Structure 1
């Protein structure tokens, strides 16, 4: 499961922002060449995010400059034609915020481009005269928002869907050379030209990005041979595989550490406590990866179905008098919320940001006949709370410490370097058995 997560993270880095831009190949020399590009790109990305202010993404399939089709703008007293129009600056973007919903296979992203420049040539024809020359339109503080989704198509393969995008700007300025006296005569009219240029470019830009990115993403995801059922999401299918691994590793049923607590003159012992059903875990809500302020926040919450267990109890009064017995109990559910943060500069290690464990209602019943009043009172008022403490102590501290110890030992940069050959091996196999 650990290798799967590492492969998946690396593959997401490659898949989302770029296309390998290579057709399917069969000969070993070409495959080796493609593999080398794949590994080299990951290394390039790692170096890119080591910068204090990373701008853009190396190799992103964004034309810069982008050629814009000829445009025509009609006034009440004339017409302006624009041609040889080019848009500069698309690659110089910064990711302000990104939210990846793994359950919905959806990505929401907000990027900022400090400046965009439009260059071209115009011809202005009016009833008075005509003029022509170069023009420039400058857009400042451009914001782009987009939502992209992957869905399982009929054949069971993943497919990128239509993207929902929008683009806006804060300020605009322009300069049309050689207007002559028309610059002052039509000043009010000319003030609307800049907005017209943007409004004309916007649908073309959104269509081009939508079409090209969808094409590139689908080109890559189609290489994944894994088929997914339409009834459950790919993430839930991976959770089902994880449940099987938990059972194979012997964690269901799970033996809880022995526990004792002193209440007044009594000492209560809880021993041989077993819980069955931990492998029934499933995701609770969405599992998300959020990028904010150059830091990834991985938010994951899983919960179990109803658990059943047994335990031996013993009550000792000043070490002299004692009563003992066996109980069966049920736990309505257990949920675990984990938030881990990882800086985009992978030289900095991951950090456990938060962990919360919640136990549902616990019900206890005695195994066997002896249901005298004091046992009933003991079982109803004391044992559920003791079991809660015992289970929480058995789960919360070990989970926290083990997660943090694991994170402290992780050198993310080294882990990625070590797994690049395995990623290349998977690519050479066409990602057979990748998931």
Structure 2
């Protein structure tokens, strides 16, 4: 059913997008196939504590331009600067908001190390040697604003990168006579070095991310139709449209209410509504989306009476439900040996309007039924739909072999076949 769309988007947002970043030297030069990269990434996330991503084109070490820091009656010149540790990141979270077209990616790094040579000179003395700056507990964040260009492909419109260390430690060797002077300015010097290299790192990250998103997005389908007629046919064939709702009875004060032979028509008119969002936390992707139906039609037999059977009225009712909306949250571990799971489902019914047939004399019981039956129908439909829908979605998810489906599709891509395989349900 609509899970095809959820899972295709879900998988593209996780493993495939990781592979896109990794394929900096893939099919174009014929040296390595996309399938090999994806297989490496799948195996990577089977580890207990995956660090970095195999094949990601992050320079490590990264060369930093020379820096110059003014001091009293002199200056400190830093050269041969290299930054180590950028590839040793852990993904903290990923959030993709399809309505706002914003992707937010955050990573953490235990340490970033800056190494280089310095030359410090004043009017009275000088010293030189190697130095080390350690940036501890670094938090990095990339926020990308996306847009769909004229041909329907996804493009990165604006990218911003920020990194922030919790602590900065510095060590200079061979200070000699300048030791006391430099020790007094270590805190401000450490901040200066970080503030100087942070824009450079951000610029490099922004440029690389933009190129990779714009390049790789053209290699994967970006269009997901708002509704699928074949899914609607499946819904009808499986007996969900028209759908017979189980009989329902309840007691409201002195009155008993019974609804029987209730039929609902139009559930196959579902289409995607609202926002689609994805988050990645603790190596688990969570996809959140909503589907809704068009106006539904229904009929039912009703009977309302005073408790004890002293007086009763019965008849038939035709009703309309403005819409049915289902919010679905599906989770998939990046360890693709695990099955996708339905985390939550929320059911919402629009306004219900009723029209009575065979009501008989318009007495106080009929008047009561006019006021109460829409709410009774609401409870009846909610009870009838929520559990079966939840059970059916999880049953379909259990059929999916995520890793097998991913590998089948990337192997097709390597052969130039863009007819990707969708999940097959029972």
Query: Is this a same-fold pair by TM over 0.5?
Result: yes
Correspondence for 1:165 among 161, 166, 172: 161
Alpha-carbon offset, residue 24 of structure 1: 7.1
Q: Deviations over 1:11-68 (max 9, x none)?
A: 442334614124875xxxx66x65xx21122221122112221111111121111111
In the TM superposition, 1:183-194 aligns within 5 A as 183-194=179-190
Q: Does 1:330 align with 2:320?
A: yes
Q: Does 1:14 align with 2:4?
A: no
Q: Deviations over 1:201-237 (max 9, x none)?
A: 00000000100111122111133476xxxxxxx5xxx
Q: Does 1:119 align with 2:119?
A: no
Residue of structure 2 in register with 1:377 after alignment: 367
Deviates more, 1:252-261 or 1:352-361: 252-261
When the two chains are superposed, the root-mean-square deviation of aligned CA atoms in Å is 3.3
Q: Does 1:175 align with 2:171?
A: yes
Report if aligned partners of 1:364, 1:379 keep a CA contact under 8 Å in 2.
no
Residue of structure 2 in register with 1:135 after alignment: 131
Report if aligned partners of 1:256, 1:394 keep a CA contact under 8 Å in 2.
no
Q: Residue 87 and residue 371 in structure 1: after superposition, are their counterparts in 2 closer, same or farther (change >3 A)? A: farther
TM-score normalised according to structure 2 size: 0.84
Q: Structure 1 CA distance, aligned partners of 2:421 and 2:154? A: 14
Q: Deviations over 1:274-324 (max 9, x none)?
A: 32365254323x32222223332222233345x2313141549999x9976
In the TM superposition, 1:209-288 aligns within 5 A as 209-224=205-220, 238-242=224-228, 244-249=229-234, 251=236, 254-262=241-249, 268-271=258-261, 273-276=263-266, 279-284=269-274, 286-288=275-277
Stretches of structure 2 lacking an aligned partner (at least 5 in a row): none
TM-score normalised according to structure 1 size: 0.82
Q: Deviations over 1:80-128 (max 9, x none)?
A: 2111110000111112222122333322122111101001111112111
Q: Structure 2 CA distance, aligned partners of 1:19 and 1:46? A: 12
Q: Structure 1 CA distance, aligned partners of 2:268 and 2:318? A: 16
Correspondence for 1:311 among 288, 296, 299: 299
Alpha-carbon offset, residue 183 of structure 1: 0.8
Name the SS of the counterpart of 2:227 in structure 1.
helix
Name the SS of the counterpart of 1:170 in structure 2.
strand
Residue of structure 1 in register with 2:279 after alignment: 290
Q: Structure 2 CA distance, aligned partners of 1:224 and 1:45? A: 18
Deviates more, 1:59-68 or 1:354-363: 354-363
Alpha-carbon offset, residue 5 of structure 1: 5.2
In the TM superposition, 1:22-41 aligns within 5 A as 22=25, 25=28, 34=32, 37-41=33-37
Q: Structure 1 CA distance, aligned partners of 2:415 and 2:4? A: 17
Stretches of structure 1 lacking an aligned partner (at least 5 in a row): 227-233
Report if aligned partners of 2:60, 2:87 keep a CA contact under 8 Å in 1.
yes
Q: Structure 1 CA distance, aligned partners of 2:257 and 2:289? A: 38
Name the SS of the counterpart of 2:242 in structure 1.
strand
Residue of structure 2 in register with 1:151 after alignment: 147
